[in-house]
């Protein structure tokens, strides 16, 4: 069994190359290039802890959409 050396919460998403999920890669790349987006995304997650999963997903989707629409 694998054991984490740190207490970091980690998730992995597999994406088929050139699939409709390409937006996940674009979102990831934009976060990697912009620390302010990372901080805003983390703040959104922190501020949404009290929300239902549906409300959290809605807020998260709006954030992701705003990042993807940036030029």
Distance CA 48, CA 46 (A): 5
pLDDT for 65: 95
17 CB-side CA count, 13 A: 0
Number of structural domains found in the chain = 1
Ranges under pLDDT 50 in the chain:
none
Identify whether 16 is part of a domain: no
Identify whether 31 is part of a domain: yes
Identify whether 11 is part of a domain: no
Identify whether 52 is part of a domain: yes
pLDDT for 25: 86
pLDDT for 18: 67
pLDDT for 28: 93
pLDDT for 71: 75
Identify whether 1 is part of a domain: no
Range of the domain at 37: 22-68
pLDDT for 12: 76
Q: What is the pTM of this model?
A: 0.70
């Amino acid at each position: 069994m694998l054991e984490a050396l740190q207490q970091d919460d980690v998730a992995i998403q597999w994406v088929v190359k050139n699939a409709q999920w390409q937006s996940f890669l674009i979102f990831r790349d934009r976060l990697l290039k912009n620390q302010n987006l990372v901080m805003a995304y983390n703040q959104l997650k922190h501020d949404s802890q009290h929300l239902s999963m549906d409300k959290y997903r809605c807020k998260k989707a709006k954030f992701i959409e705003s990042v993807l629409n940036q030029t």
